[in-house]
C-alpha cells in the first residue's frame, strides 16, 4: 500500500503551478520549533523563499497526524537551467520514521508538473548519514562531493550533491 504524505501548501512564491495533486496544507500554530515557529501567523513561504530577494520557490510544512513535524522546500533560483534545489528539516523527536523520504518523494512527484524543471538536487553534509539515507530512499543519486561548498557558522563545509533527474517519457 502506498502511503501519501500530508504535506501542507503555504502561499506560493514564484511562477510555478500550485500543488493540487498532493495533499498540501499549512499547519503553523506556534507550537513547532525551528523554521515554522519563526513564521507563526504567516505562511511559511513568507520566511522562506519569499524573504530572500531574487529567489523563487516553495516552502511547505510537513504534517503527520495533525502535527507539524518539519519543513521541506523547493528553490528555483536556477530554473533557467532546468534545476531546482530541495532542502528539509524534521523535528528531532520525529526523525527515523521515514518522514523525510516520504516528503522528498511527494515533493519530487509534484515538482515534475513544472515543465521547465529537469533536475532536482540536494546538498547534504557527509557526516549526516541519516539525511543521506533519507534522500537515497527517495530515489536521489549521490553524484559527488563538493569541497568547501558552503559556509555554516563561519566554517567552510563539504557537501555531497544528490540529484534526481526528470523521468523520461516511455
Using one digit for the tens of pLDDT, what is the confidence trace for 99-130?
Answer: 999 999 999 999 999 999 999 999 999 999 99
Helices (H) and strands (E) in the chain, counts: 2, 7
At residue 62, does pLDDT exceed 70?
A: yes
Q: What is the pLDDT of residue 130?
A: 95
Bridge partners, 45 (sequence order):
none
Residues 120, 136: Cα–Cα separation, whole Å: 13
Contacts of 170 (CB under 8 A, 6+ apart): none
Q: What is the pLDDT of residue 47?
A: 36
Higher pLDDT, 87 or 19: 87
Q: Which residue ranges form the domains of the chain, and what is each CATH number?
A: 6-165 (3.40.630.30)
Q: What is the pLDDT of residue 22?
A: 32
Q: What is the pLDDT of residue 42?
A: 35
Predicted TM-score (pTM) of this structure: 0.70
Amino acid at each position: 500500500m502506498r502511503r501519501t504524505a500530508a504535506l501542507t501548501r503555504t502561499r506560493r512564491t514564484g511562477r510555478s503551478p500550485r500543488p493540487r495533486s498532493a495533499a498540501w496544507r499549512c499547519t503553523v500554530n506556534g507550537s513547532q520549533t525551528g523554521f515554522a515557529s519563526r513564521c507563526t501567523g504567516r505562511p511559511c513561504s513568507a520566511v522562506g523563499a519569499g524573504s530572500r530577494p531574487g529567489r523563487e520557490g516553495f516552502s511547505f510544512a510537513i504534517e503527520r497526524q495533525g502535527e507539524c513535524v518539519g519543513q521541506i522546500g523547493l528553490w528555483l533560483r536556477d530554473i533557467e537551467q532546468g534545476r531546482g534545489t530541495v532542502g528539509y528539516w524534521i523535528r528531532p523527536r520525529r526523525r527515523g520514521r521515514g518522514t523525510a523520504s516520504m516528503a522528498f518523494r511527494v515533493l519530487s512527484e509534484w515538482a515534475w508538473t513544472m515543465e521547465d524543471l529537469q533536475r532536482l538536487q540536494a546538498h547534504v553534509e557527509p557526516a549526516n548519514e541519516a539525511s543521506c539515507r533519507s534522500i537515497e530512499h527517495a530515489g536521489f543519486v549521490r553524484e559527488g562531493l563538493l569541497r568547501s561548498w558552503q559556509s555554516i557558522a563561519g566554517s567552510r563545509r563539504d557537501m555531497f550533491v544528490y540529484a534526481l533527474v526528470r523521468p523520461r517519457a516511455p
